[in-house]
Structure 1
């Protein structure tokens, strides 16, 4: 089910005023990708982009067309590692969120 414009605007407004919310959006997207959930990770990344800087600004930063970026993070998208890492870097810089990687031992 597509998100309504009002919902997107509500999420974007919260992301603008709440740095922890911005962090959670980006963290959820990257964690989904690291967990091997490519479709869920791409969807979460798309939500993070829409809620923060938008595809127009992202395209300016990474030197890609917004439509190309939308396809990369769409249901059938398949961004290259270079594109994915460039997007994550751009989002970190533009949103003021800095992600770090930590190892955690399995509970097994």
Structure 2
């Protein structure tokens, strides 16, 4: 899914002012991945990172290069579980949330 600059700017602006929107982006990203839609999950996670922490800060925190993180969350990227869980763990810590899964 390719996003336009205006869409990215809209997401960043909304995330800056709406805590529920930020939380929704993060949880929807993980819900999509857990339900098998890795493409949508990566796209939402990338949007969340761009709108909040940024790839530079995330990269420094988990010991990866920003370009590597951007590639693994791109449409052709294939993040390994260790990297994906490292990203999610850091984002939860930064957001001050603890996400949980629930079987339905």
Alignment match, 1:12 = 12
After superposing the two structures, state which structure 1 stretch, 45-54 or 84-93, moved more.
45-54
Residue 24 in 1 paired to residue 20 in 2? no
| C-alpha RMSD of matched pairs (Å) | 1.5
Contact 1:22–1:97 (CA under 8 A) maintained in structure 2:
no
**What is the TM-score normalised by the length of structure 1?**
0.87
List alignment gaps of at least 5 residues for structure 1: none
CA drift at 1:7: 2.8
Alignment match, 1:40 = 40
In the TM superposition, structure 1's runs of 4+ consecutive aligned residues that sit over 4 Å from their partners are none
Aligned to 2:101, the other structure's residue is in SS state coil
CA drift at 1:32: 0.8
Contact 2:11–2:47 (CA under 8 A) maintained in structure 1:
no
Q: How many residues align?
A: 104
Q: Max radius of gyration: which structure?
A: 1
Aligned to 1:64, the other structure's residue is in SS state coil
